[in-house]
Each structure stands twice: as C-alpha cells, then as structure tokens.
Amino acid sequence: MTHILQLDASARPGLAGTDVHGSHSRFLSQRFVSRWLAQRKHDTLCYRDIGQQPPSIINHDWIAASFTPDENREPWMQETLAESEELVAELIAADVLVIAAPLYNFGMPAALKAWIDQIVRPGRTIEVDDSNPLDPYVAKLADRPRHAVILSARGGVGFGVGGEMAHMNHLEPNLITALGFIGITRVHQIAIEGQEAGGDVLAQSVAQATRQIDALVTELQRALQPVGALQSA
C-alpha cells in the first residue's frame, strides 16, 4: 500500500476551470491524486492545505529548541516543536510527496517556505556527523525510496529547464535542493505556463500537463507496485 502526502500551497482556494480565479497548481494536484486513488483505492492520503493554513514561521524559540538535544529539552521547547513534529511525521510516513505550488515572484510561496523550514530538522530529517567535516550531513529520509512530485503553475512561459526564463525560476531548484538535502532525490516536475497570456497558450499547456500527470501516475504506480504483483501482472 502506498501513502501519499499532498500539499497545496497556492493562495487561491479554488480550482482553475471550476472557480473564478481558481488555482492551476491545485488543479494539477487534484488531477494527480484523484487519478491515483481511482486506480489504487487501497492506497492512503494525507492532505494539507498550507496555502490556506500556513505553517508557523520559525523564530528564536524554534531554533533554540530544534538545536537542543531531545533529552535536554525543556517543556516549552517540546511545545514549540509540536507543529514541526507533526509535519515531519507526515513527511516520513509518505511514499509519494505531492507539492502543488505557483511560482510567486520567481520563488515559492511563503507558506511553502515555512513548511520547508519546519521539516528540515537536525535529528529528525537530517543528521550532522561531526566526524566527517568535509561532508557532515547525513540525510535521514534516504532510508527508503520516496518520490516527490512538484506541480507548479507560472504566469509566464519559458521558466522550465532549458527555457529562456529558467534562470529566473527559483521554485523547483530550491525545492529539489531542500528535498535532496534530507534524502528525497526521486523528483518529478510538471508545470502549467502561460496564465498571463491565456487563450490557446494556456489551454495547450493545461492539456499537456494533464497528459503528463496521467502518464506519471501510471509510471509511479508501476514503480511502487510490490514485486509479487509485478510478477503476476
């Protein structure tokens, strides 16, 4: 059984194509998850709408608590880290992480950055090995295969890998770096572009992204299928 963690980071609560000013990134994540569960009903889902309910921004108390060994933490430190512990536990449990996020001013939404800051945690998702000063970081989520699916939406065009505007896109590169740092290196990217242009440019991008999602669901479901099921298929 595969467990999915779905994060929607758009400030727009509705779905593109259904609601006025609806979110294209939410449309993509909804397509991915609904397609997945329609084909594998016994798989499970954890959903967080961080666009509407953003995680807390880390502060001095959070940093002090996070870098204090667990056995030395005072009660207020445990309380400070309670939200982070919940978010980290959700991530650790996931086999597939689905992140739906628009490109805001060349980077990720503030709510998604807050989530990243809450889950990159010493002793929880990353370990520091002082005996290896040249490469001291040990990614704790490399313990088993996990996949990340980044579903983004952009107002302009050419922000993808190899595009004319790729050098101005700091959404996917930032996410890939942060996720790789904690051990999630199997990353898949699909995006919708051309929201500002609209018309055929947007429509063609939506259609292409939809096809890519359907193909990716099939690919990942096969990759995550138990060995015995593959042999009997």
Largest CA distance in the chain: 59
C-alpha span between 141 and 132 (Å, rounded): 19
Residue 166 three-state SS: helix
For a pLDDT cut of 90, what percent of the chain falls above it?
A: 89
Q: HSE, CB side, 13 Å, CA atoms: give it for residue 107.
A: 7
Q: HSE, CB side, 13 Å, CA atoms: give it for residue 230.
A: 9
Dump pLDDT digits (tens) for 73-129.
999 999 999 999 999 999 999 999 999 999 999 999 999 999 999 999 999 999 988
pLDDT computed for residue 159 by the predictor: 96
Residues in contact with 152: Cβ distance below 8 Å, sequence separation at least 6, in sequence order = 25, 100, 101, 102, 103, 171, 172, 189, 190, 191, 192
What mean pLDDT do residues 20-32 have?
Answer: 95
Q: Kindly tell me the burial class for residue 224, based on how many C-beta atoms sit within 10 Å of its own C-beta (0-12, 13-18, 19 or more).
A: middle
Which residue has 């989530």 as its token pair?
115
Q: Are 172 and 180 in contact (CB under 8 A)?
A: no
pLDDT computed for residue 231 by the predictor: 47
Q: Return the minimum-mean-pLDDT range out of 58-62, 95-99, 155-159, 224-228.
A: 224-228
Q: Are 8 and 51 in contact (CB under 8 A)?
A: yes
**Residue ranges covered by each domain of the chain:** 3-232
Q: Is 56 annotated as a binding residue?
A: no
Which two three-digit tokens encode residue 48? 């967080």
* pTM reported for the whole predicted model: 0.94
Q: What are phi and psi of 91, to 5 degrees?
A: -70, -45
Residue 230 pLDDT exceeds 90: no
C-alpha span between 186 and 172 (Å, rounded): 13
Dump pLDDT digits (tens) for 177-188.
999 999 999 999
Q: Is 10 annotated as a binding residue?
A: yes
CATH architecture of the domain with range 3-232: 3-Layer(aba) Sandwich (3.40)
Which residue has 């939406």 as its token pair?
153
What rounded mean pLDDT belongs to the chain?
94
Amino acid identity of residue 170, one-letter, is H
Q: Is 84 annotated as a binding residue?
A: no
Q: Are 153 and 28 in contact (CB under 8 A)?
A: yes
What mean pLDDT do residues 193-207 have?
Answer: 93
Amino acid identity of residue 30, one-letter, is Q
Q: Is 23 annotated as a binding residue?
A: yes
Model confidence at 228, in pLDDT bands (50, 70, 90)?
low
Residue 229 pLDDT exceeds 90: no
pLDDT computed for residue 5 by the predictor: 98
pLDDT computed for residue 227 by the predictor: 53
> Which residue in 28, 21, 8 sits closest to 211, CA to CA?
28
